[in-house]
Homo-oligomer: A and B are copies of this chain.
Amino acid sequence: MTALWRRQPVGIVGLGLIGGSLGLDLQALGACVRALVHRPETASRARERGLATTVSTDPGVLGDCGLVVLALPLDRLLAPDPALLAALPSQAVLTDVGSVKGPVQAAWRALGPRFVPSHPMAGTAQAGVEAGQADLFRDRPWVATPAPDTDPQALQAVRELAEALGARWCCCPASDHDRAVAMISHLPVLVSAGLLLACESTSVEDPELAPLLRRLASSGFADTSRVGGGNPELGMLMARGNREAVLRALGHYRQAIDTIEQLVQDQRWAELHQLLSLCQALRPDYLS
């Protein structure tokens, strides 16, 4: 049977990085895309950029959609606008793109088996209506975390959407997803932010060193500080939405830093070498 996204218009709520990119790709595939945005200025710019077939600030725009993607920031996803809830077509398959799945599942449970919690793991440093770009999802993981009662046909409809965009589909329990992203996505943001903050506190303590730090920082510093210098709103929402798993990840990280510091303190260079060799051996497993 033809995929749902081909048979009926696809709704997108929010045209930031993820929503805008979805709109561009889906239209390129021939889909009809109805987008709902909050502010008239966003609607106007989204129309100029051609992010959807129809862009409106009226929730009624979603009326004929068979599948609606809630591409909202985590805070708005967890406390949805009642007008949005009222406008969601009662038969439509629903999915979200939130980076934490436990709280999303809890918040949207009332919508029943047609809601499929999902998380396309694609990001850039950009946000907002200018951020959407073609081909953002290609070869990126798109994780779904179905509940026991999730409708298999709804799950399949979301899978067909994700795979049409070139994403790598993956299913797991919400709690596994949240613990995994705490380690490989949220922890890196905090680890990386800590590096920038440590440089800042050094600069404050020793203002004469500050210009040298900035002058000598090289590609290693640029890479290690990249995600920590990213969108602060996203970083905060990740930590807030996934607090327990993030604290557990920070606990593991603190132990690792303690171990390294102790080896340097005790001048146990052979053991430090061994630990860094382990890191070198581990890393390729994490690169797709």
* A positions within 8 Å CB-CB of B: 121-123, 140-141, 143, 170, 172, 176-177, 179-181, 183-185, 187-202, 206, 208-209, 212-233, 235-236, 239-240, 243, 246-247, 249-250, 252-257, 259-261, 264-265, 267, 269, 272-280, 282-288
Residue pair A194, B197 in contact (C-beta under 8 Å): no
List 10 contacting pairs A-B, 8 Å CB cutoff, sorted by A. Answer: A176-B208, A177-B212, A190-B257, A191-B257, A193-B256, A198-B249, A202-B252, A229-B280, A232-B277, A236-B272
Residue pair B216, A257 in contact (C-beta under 8 Å): no
Residue pair B239, A188 in contact (C-beta under 8 Å): no
Q: For the complex, give the distance between the alpha carbons of A140 and B200 in Å.
A: 22
A98 to chain B, nearest CB (A): 15
Q: Which residues of B contact A201 (CB under 8 A)?
A: 252, 255-256
Q: For the complex, give the distance between the alpha carbons of A228 and B286 in Å.
A: 13
Q: Looking at the complex, which one of B140, B264, B267 makes contact with A218 (CB distance below 8 Å)?
A: B140
Residue pair A288, B217 in contact (C-beta under 8 Å): yes
Residue pair B280, A184 in contact (C-beta under 8 Å): no
Q: For the complex, give the distance between the alpha carbons of A137 and B230 in Å.
A: 28
Contact A225/B286 with A189-B220, A197-B256, A273-B233 known, Cβ cut-off 8 Å: yes
